[in-house]
Chains A and B, each alone.
Chain A
Amino acid sequence: MLALGFTLIFGVLRRANLAYGPAIMFGAYAATWTSMNFQAGLLILAVVTIAAAVLAGAYVERLCFAPHRKGPAAAAMVASFALWMQFEELATLALPNHLYAFPALYEGGPLELGRFTVRIDALLILLATVVVCGLLWWILYRTRFGVAVRAVIDDPKAAGLAGIGVPRVFMLVFALASAIGGLAGFLIAGSQEQVTPMLGMWSTLKGMVAMMLGGLGSLPGAVAGGLALGLIEAHAGWFLGPQLRDFLVYLLLFVLLALRPPWMNTRSVS
């Protein structure tokens, strides 16, 4: 799901948004703060996370991507890196401890299926991913807005000439991607039952690596990449231990960048 949001932005704007994860972290912190100061149920916390992530995402779009639409891709990326720092500072100023508890997604024990045990929250995340994928597919392939988004992906200039308000589409895509990211952030925080400022970097990294695994800018690829990354991590965690697991993600990123497999050159989101 992290990869979906990251890919959506990359596919439409052809720009890597490094502040993607930190915007999600901002959302998760907003929810943590809410749960510390008010009595709030999970549903309200989910809404707070998504709303704050969308707000932060819109802020990133206005400040980093709207002004650098025509300039070099690196300009927007560097600008988004600056906002990454900003979000991390903001989070540590508001909640100065390194680690905060986040309400659990599901309190009960795991589900026993014969020899297998399945965590309910993991099941919930899987279910949510399937629903989000379906919803996103429906938006992109069955609505007027989806036609506009895919037109902008194919050719922003031709899209403008067809009467599509390209800046508006950029803004809405950013909001949509941030909402998906916010939901992902909520589910992650809820299943780990904690938030740290590292969630930002972690989310950007996971989103980026999963996107690269599945092919740059391809949405079905992002889903496949996310699943593949999950499998690789689970196996690495089992065989190599949790310390080496995160190391493996970086190693994977390095290998992908060094080898550049052919599917990474794909362009279309369809």
Chain B
Amino acid sequence: MLSVRDLVTAYGKIEALKGVSLEVAPGSITCLLGPNGAGKTTLMMTIAGVLRPKRGSVRFLDEDLAGLAPDAIVKRGIALVPENRLGFPSMSVLENLQAGAYQRRDPIEEDIERIFRRFPPLKARSAQQAGTLSGGEQQMLAVGRALMSRPKLLLMDEPSLGLAPLVVEEIFRTVAELHRDGTTIFLVEQNAHMALKVAQHFFLMEQGRVSFSGDPGSLAEDEVIRRAYLGSSR
């Protein structure tokens, strides 16, 4: 469904992605693991169009996305739940969801209802300013906002970052539910244990390159965790 080929993204002269290639199969949960600074967020931002790649291609449903603006990429069916739950803190919860549906021209009330059913705390706070929500609620809102565009592929960048264990479990339950409902998910995670439980396939990234690709059973979990946190070179 998503096919990344030899992708190079640079900040000035420093290449954060040094030729990344990977595939995300339709209907799968695919996970990307790796230590800090490996380029995981850079990869997500490049796929979503926030960063422009220097070389390489991002193909999605047989169309090259490299170089398109973020809104054009949302239009083609990819939504990113960004790292740190980036959102619109001065706007209400409801308006945040409406903003997520900006591309759509059809009625969105049903989608809002569905998201409120999935995340009841959001319904209770629908008129409240998003900036006043707890970390877990903001993560729910970030996921809900991304779902409002009805994406075919949902990118999630460290959705469990800084959240309490119970909330993390809830987020992963949501990931599994979304997957069951037919959304393809490409997930960046630090929490390797949780990620390997839900994923069908995973990639390890180190220093701007993919260093391993396999099924969750193909590498001992402690080895994955060691390499995801520390990298294999150290």
Contacts and interface: CB of A to CB of B under 8 A. Distances in A.
Given A147-B102, A151-B99, A160-B50, A166 B88 contact: no
B231 interface: no
Interface core residue of B48, B98, B102 (most chain A CB under 10 Å): B102
B35 interface: no
Given A147-B99, A148-B102, A158-B82, A163 B88 contact: no
B50 A157 contact: yes
Contacts of B145: 162
Interface in A159-183: 159-167
A154 B69 contact: no
Contacts of A164: 71, 99, 102
Nearest to B72: A165
Contacts, number: 77
B91 A151 contact: yes
| Interface size bracket, A side | 20 to 34
A157 B103 CA distance: 16
A268 interface: yes
A268 B69 CA distance: 26
B87 to A, nearest CB: 6
B153 to A, nearest CB: 14
B74 interface: yes
Contacts of B74: 161-163
Main SS of the interface on chain A?
A: helix
A198 B87 CA distance: 42
B82 A161 contact: yes
Nearest to A153: B90
A154 B90 contact: yes
A150 B48 CA distance: 21
Interface residues of B, number: 27
B19 interface: no
Given A164-B71, A165-B69, A159 B90 contact: no
B70 interface: yes
Contacts of B71: 160, 163-166
A158 B103 contact: no
A161 B99 contact: no
Cβ-closest 10 pairs across A and B: A163-B74, A160-B70, A163-B103, A154-B88, A158-B86, A165-B71, A151-B99, A268-B90, A163-B102, A164-B102
Interface of A: 144, 147-148, 150-151, 153-155, 157-167, 268, 270
20 contacts: A147-B98, A147-B102, A151-B88, A151-B91, A154-B90, A155-B87, A155-B88, A158-B86, A158-B87, A160-B70, A161-B50, A161-B70, A161-B74, A161-B146, A162-B102, A163-B100, A164-B99, A164-B102, A165-B69, A166-B69
Given A147-B102, A164-B99, A165-B71, 20 more contacts: A144-B98, A148-B99, A148-B102, A155-B86, A157-B82, A157-B86, A158-B87, A160-B50, A160-B70, A161-B80, A161-B82, A161-B146, A162-B74, A163-B100, A163-B101, A163-B102, A164-B102, A165-B69, A166-B69, A167-B69
Interface of B: 48-50, 69-71, 74-75, 79-80, 82, 86-91, 95, 98-103, 145-146, 149
